[in-house]
Amino acid sequence: MVSQKDESRAKKLASKAQGNIKAKRLLSSGSGITGGVLPGNYLHDKPILSYFRPNEQPQYFFYNESKGVRIGETRKKSGWGGTYRNAMWVTDKGLHFTVGKSGGDFHYFMPSDSINKVNIKNGVTKNKFVFDTDKGQTRFPTDPSIDTDSATEYIRRRLSTSTTSSTGTSVSASRDNKNTNPTPTESDITLASLQRMDEYDFEQLVARAWERQGWTTEVTSGSTDRGIDVIATKSTPFEQRQYIQAKRYKNNNKVGSGEIQRYSGLYARNESVDSVVVVTTSNFTKEAQTVAANRNVKLVNGERLQDIIKKYNISI
């Protein structure tokens, strides 16, 4: 039985996550069978939430059905026909690897400061994370349909390391890189400068930010009766469609729960929409974050928007 305290914590963590963290996943444990046929849960004994430190924030989640995780020469996996999935959880403290088993779960935590290098190997049937540490390599395969770019960038920002792509290109990632020789574009970008932008220019900026991430965009400037600012679509690795609301607010004007409830209706009324995204130059109230976590609304606050602009070197 999940306590109200844990449920509240899980929803809060999911609402603050940058990636695909869901409250339900953080709380699930027990029987691994879903619908009597497919593997469903990730842990048997207790939910992943119980492994997190009180101040630990999960950001991204990856899984595989049967490959498991290889730590050095030891491989841990649920196995073919198993009732549990194997998972990797990326948090602000490090990486959690889990393998659910009815005879006792396996859990392994890798602190961020123990990782020397991260390799991402992309394939047709699977992608694979390879982490180099002083104790050896840890490998975790994941489904190729799951986007690894955002999580990889996040890990790079957390580590004093280099990330090497499957093409062999190495990109340095230092913990202090925010303070070392920023480009003029990066140094000029402040929340104040974003807040001073013309409304139309800000919508165009948001559209460019999504285009740099592989989306095709259409700026509607709220001309539709649904009040959508940007429509974003993507065809790989599968068809996706997002409705984006761009809110150019001052720091003291947070987006509230009422607005999130209103925008969530766009998702509920249109089956072709995979998610609604609200982008703001300010922040979101706690109530808004709770509503968003429950209604498939993605939130991008001013700080996160700055990160995206800097990452893709977008001029304003």
Task: Please identify, in words, the CATH class of the domain defined by 184-311.
Answer: alpha beta
- Average pLDDT score over residue span 34-45: 61
Q: Residue 179: is it exposed, middle or buried by C-beta count within 10 angstroms (0-12/13-18/19+)?
A: exposed
Least Cα distance to 174 among 192, 162, 191 occurs for: 162
pLDDT interval class at 248 (50, 70, 90): very high
Same fold, 4-178 and 184-311: no
Asked if 190 and 233 count as a contact pair (C-beta separation under 8 A), the reply is no
| Position with higher pLDDT, 5 vs 39 | 5
Asked if 47 and 28 count as a contact pair (C-beta separation under 8 A), the reply is yes
Domain ranges (residues) in the chain = 4-178, 184-311
Q: What 3-state class would DSSP assign to 26?
A: helix
Asked if 100 and 84 count as a contact pair (C-beta separation under 8 A), the reply is yes
For residue 205, give the DSSP letter.
Answer: H
| Position with higher pLDDT, 31 vs 124 | 124
Tokens of 261: 């409830």
pLDDT interval class at 176 (50, 70, 90): very low
pLDDT digits (tens, 9 = 90+) for 259-293: 999 988 876 677 778 889 999 999 999 999 999 98
pLDDT interval class at 188 (50, 70, 90): low
Q: What is the pLDDT of residue 141?
A: 93
**What residue has token string 């194997």?**
86
For 117-180, the DSSP string reads: EEEEEE-SS-EEEEEEETTEEEEEEE-TTS--HHHHHHHHHHSSEEEE-TT--EEEE-TTGGGS
Q: Which helix (H) or strand (E) holds 302?
A: helix 302-311
| Position with higher pLDDT, 182 vs 201 | 201
* Beta-bridge mates of residue 253: none
Q: What is the pLDDT of residue 78?
A: 76
pLDDT digits (tens, 9 = 90+) for 208-220: 999 998 899 998 8
pLDDT digits (tens, 9 = 90+) for 85-96: 899 999 999 999
Give the Cα separation of 94 and 157 in Å (integer). 12
**Lowest mean pLDDT, pick from 67-76, 91-100, 148-157, 287-296:** 148-157
Mean pLDDT comparison of 111-120, 153-162, 261-270, 275-284, highest-scoring range: 275-284
Given a cut of 90, whether residue 206 has pLDDT beyond it is yes
pLDDT interval class at 152 (50, 70, 90): confident
Q: What is the pLDDT of residue 36?
A: 40
Query: Which CATH topology does 4-178 take?
Result: PH-domain like (2.30.29)
Q: What is the pLDDT of residue 29?
A: 81
Tokens of 239: 């068809």
Mean pLDDT comparison of 150-164, 173-187, 232-246, highest-scoring range: 232-246
**Lowest mean pLDDT, pick from 139-143, 183-187, 241-245:** 183-187
For the entire predicted model, the pTM comes to 0.52
For residue 189, give the DSSP letter.
Answer: -
Listed as own residue / partner, the contacts of 179-188 with beta carbons closer than 8 Å and 24 or more positions apart are 183/313, 185/310, 185/313, 185/314, 185/315, 186/310, 186/313, 188/316
